[in-house]
Structure 1
Amino acid sequence: MAYPQIPTAVNVITAVPAVGPESSRVTCPSCYASVQTKVENESTTRTHIVALLLCVFLCWPCVCVPYCMDSCKNRNHYCPNCNAYIGTYKQ
């Protein structure tokens, strides 16, 4: 007598690599290639709040300062092969 096969579930757990402010060498969780990450700076809500505070308390030309400084932005890391998101370094 043959028993029916019961499908089994396979759980794949992918660890998010730790990334810093500079490009990092990681294994991409999407394409599994060993790559040097591509870093893109992104303005956040905090960047906009700092610009607003500078406008209110100093003067309007100071609004540009947070948008010109990388230290006021998050750094998003992407795989250069498949363009998959890898992680974010928050300032």
Structure 2
Amino acid sequence: MEKTQIHTEMPELPVKPDAPPSYHEAYPTAPPADMAPMMPPSVACPFPMQLQPQQKQQTFIQQQPVDIENLPPLPTFGPQPCLVTCPYCFQQQRSTVRMEPTKKTHLIAALMCLAGGICCVWIPYHYDSFKTANHYCWRCNAHLGSYNK
């Protein structure tokens, strides 16, 4: 059996004459002495050579105090939207009402299922009289109050 010898030396690749320069040739660590900036001493520099650090101007915004004691009280909520001053964003507008089921709604649905069968379960979820009217601020969506029948 013949032993073949493996060449570990890599042949040197020919360099093309139009190849780009290497990284070290293109970006030397220090500029050569012949590449020093050439500026006549009589010409004044249009910008200062040393940049002064800019001082940050601090802007203070003082929030006006809100007299919470003089806010109008929240109205007694009903099933319909009402005019209210929001205690969170202090805007006066009409509230948004969302009818949402409660434990009472689920209990009535369970009782109707036992009494009338599975086909009666949907009745409390369909009628608003079995739900709670939750009032929300139109602008900031904060909960303002509820109305239970």
TM-score range, shorter chain: 0.7 to 0.9
Structure 1 residues not aligned, in runs of 5+: 1-11
Q: How far did 1:16 drift? A: 3.9
Q: How many residues align?
A: 81
Per-residue Cα deviation, 1:26-78 (whole angstroms, up to 9, x for no partner): 11111111110000011011100100011001111100000000000000000
* Matches for 1:10-89 after TM superposition, within 5 Å: 12=68, 15-89=73-147
- Structure whose alpha-carbon radius of gyration is higher: 2
> Which structure is richer in relative contact order (CA contacts within 8 A, separation 6 or more)?
1
Equivalent AA in structure 1 for residue 76 of structure 2 = A
Q: Is the 8 A contact 1:17 1:87 kept in 2?
A: no
CA RMSD of aligned residues (A): 1.6
The match for 1:5 is: none
Higher strand fraction: Structure 1 or Structure 2?
1
The match for 1:6 is: none
C-alpha separation in 1, matches of 2:125 and 2:107:
11
TM-score by length of 1: 0.82
Q: How far did 1:19 drift? A: 1.0
Structure 2 residues not aligned, in runs of 5+: 1-67
Partner of 1:51: helix, strand, or coil?
helix
TM-score by length of 2: 0.51
